[in-house]
């Protein structure tokens, strides 16, 4: 269980990301504004990417879940002194918000003291018939601290076909 100061940081981090996802969805813009959500609190383990989403992943059901959870968590946003480590409603709501954000953003969001992989990008690629070349992730540059998890499945890989988990030109 996170200490109150860490829980307050985790709360602000998740609440802010959820708001950013909904804002970008409603304004249909990519990326974040300059300086928006640049700071990742020390309570976050790993290096999460800035909040982004795949339009297909942001289903109406997930939007509704995020909005409902933000409504429940709104009282804590307005009254941070109510954040307590033993508040089961708060913990359950934050856990639900994190789960839907991880689904929408395609990355883990991990906090200090948790027994789970560090924050980072998670890619799952499911292929039927592969005839040519299929790459799950192709990037020019990535930070040495980046944590990327690639999971691939293919039904049939034809002769001469190639499946690549990650192709990285430069690690800095």
User: What phi and psi values does residue 105 have, to the nearest 5 degrees?
Assistant: -85, -20
Q: Are the CB atoms for 118 and 124 separated by under 8 Å?
A: no
Predicted model pTM = 0.69
- Please give the tally of structural domains in the chain: 2
Note whether 152 and 72 are same-domain residues.
Answer: no
- For residue 53, give its domain range: 4-114
Note whether 74 and 151 are same-domain residues.
Answer: no
Note whether 132 and 101 are same-domain residues.
Answer: no
Distance CA 96, CA 99 (A): 5
Give pLDDT tens digits for 52-62.
777 788 899 99
Note whether 90 and 18 are same-domain residues.
Answer: yes
Q: Which whole-number Å values give the CA distances from 126 to 120, 152, 154, in the listed order?
A: 20, 6, 6
Confidence of residue 146 (pLDDT cuts 50, 70, 90): low
Note whether 110 and 125 are same-domain residues.
Answer: no
């Amino acid at each position: 269980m996170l200490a109150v100061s860490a829980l307050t940081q985790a709360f602000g981090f998740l609440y802010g990301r959820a708001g950013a996802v909904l804002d970008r969805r409603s304004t249909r813009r990519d990326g974040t504004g300059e300086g928006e959500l640049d700071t990742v609190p020390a309570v976050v383990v790993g290096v999460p990417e800035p909040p982004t989403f795949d339009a297909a992943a942001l289903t109406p059901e997930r939007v509704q879940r995020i909005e409902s959870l933000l409504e429940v968590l709104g009282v804590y946003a307005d009254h941070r002194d109510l954040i307590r480590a033993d508040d089961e409603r708060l913990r359950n709501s934050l856990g639900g918000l994190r789960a839907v954000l991880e689904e929408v953003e395609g990355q883990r969001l991990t906090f200090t003291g948790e027994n789970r992989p560090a924050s980072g990008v998670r890619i799952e690629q499911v292929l039927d018939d592969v005839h040519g070349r299929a790459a799950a992730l192709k990037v020019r540059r990535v930070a040495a601290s980046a944590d990327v998890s690639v999971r691939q499945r293919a039904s049939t890989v034809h002769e001469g076909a190639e499946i690549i988990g990650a192709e990285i030109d430069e690690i800095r």
